[in-house]
């Protein structure tokens, strides 16, 4: 082995070690963000299926309050019976295992994201775009879910990522439906029963 080869090998080793030092924190950050995304996607997937269950005859009464408003407005989404809220939050709690040891602000970040998402999808605006709706739920996309037309009863169930509707056959194209929708559950139920969900 010549002195040049030894020198080259040592130089390559030193360079590799420097590169590893630079890359490892980046990898750590990337892995953490991947974990956050995986957790959000898993929770959203669970939310979709819980929502789908809420629309079965066994659990519909627990979800009626959410569908009772006859007009859309940003706070309409906060209506949720105790049973509904308990069921809907379960996937978020379950998905938290993917967060590993999360920083203190993660709980508040998830809460803020869920509130913003809920307010956004219930906005009183027929707003959306088909391209965007391939990724996320927009106000007009969710309006269809609140429509009192029986054809839309189990349509557009997704909460954040619209992919679940596309994958599991519950997608209703807002461009084909149009904005002249009416909302509500089409029956009168006592407010106490709506809130309790029984
Ligand atoms: Zn619903
Ligand atoms: Zn809603």
pLDDT in tens, 21-56: 666 666 666 666 677 788 889 999 999 999 999 999
Output the CA 100–ligand 2 centroid distance in Å.
31
Q: 137, 156 in Cβ contact below 8 A? A: yes
Determine the average pLDDT of the residues in 111-135. 92
Model confidence, pTM? 0.80
Output the CA 103–ligand 2 centroid distance in Å.
30
Q: What is the pLDDT, as a whole number, of residue 190? A: 83
Output the CA 134–ligand 1 centroid distance in Å.
20
Output the CA 157–ligand 1 centroid distance in Å.
6
Output the CA 98–ligand 2 centroid distance in Å.
27
Q: Which residue has the higher pLDDT, 45 or 16?
A: 45
Residue 44: burial class (beta carbons within 10 Å; 0-12, 13-18, 19+): buried
What is the number of the ligand closest to the CA of 157? 1
Output the CA 47–ligand 1 centroid distance in Å.
11
Number of domains present in the structure of the chain = 1
Output the CA 20–ligand 1 centroid distance in Å.
49
What is the number of the ligand closest to the CA of 54? 1
Distance CA 97, CA 39 (A): 8
Distance CA 161, CA 52 (A): 15
Q: Which domain holds residue 155?
A: 3-196
Confidence band of 97 (pLDDT split at 50, 70, 90): confident
Q: What is the pLDDT, as a whole number, of residue 180? A: 85
Residue 2 has pLDDT above 80, yes or no: no
Confidence band of 65 (pLDDT split at 50, 70, 90): very high
Distance CA 79, CA 189 (A): 15
């Amino acid at each position: 082995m010549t002195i040049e080869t030894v020198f080259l090998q040592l130089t390559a080793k030193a360079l590799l070690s420097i590169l590893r030092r630079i890359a490892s924190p980046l990898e750590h950050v990337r892995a953490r963000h991947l974990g956050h995304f995986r957790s959000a996607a898993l929770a959203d997937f669970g939310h979709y299926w819980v929502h789908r269950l809420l629309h079965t005859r066994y659990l519909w009464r627990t979800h009626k309050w959410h569908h009772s408003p006859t007009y859309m407005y940003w706070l309409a989404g906060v209506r949720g019976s105790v049973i509904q809220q308990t069921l809907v939050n379960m996937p978020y709690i379950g998905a938290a295992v993917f967060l590993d040891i999360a920083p203190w602000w993660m709980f508040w970040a998830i809460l803020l994201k869920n509130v913003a998402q809920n307010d956004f999808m219930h906005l009183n605006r027929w707003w959306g775009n088909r391209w965007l709706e391939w990724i996320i739920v927009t106000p007009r996309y969710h309006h269809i879910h609140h429509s009192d037309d029986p054809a839309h009863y189990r349509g557009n169930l997704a909460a954040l990522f619209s992919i679940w509707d596309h994958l599991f056959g519950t997608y209703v194209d807002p461009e084909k439906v149009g904005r002249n929708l009416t909302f509500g559950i089409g029956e009168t139920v006592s407010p106490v029963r709506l809130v309790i969900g029984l």
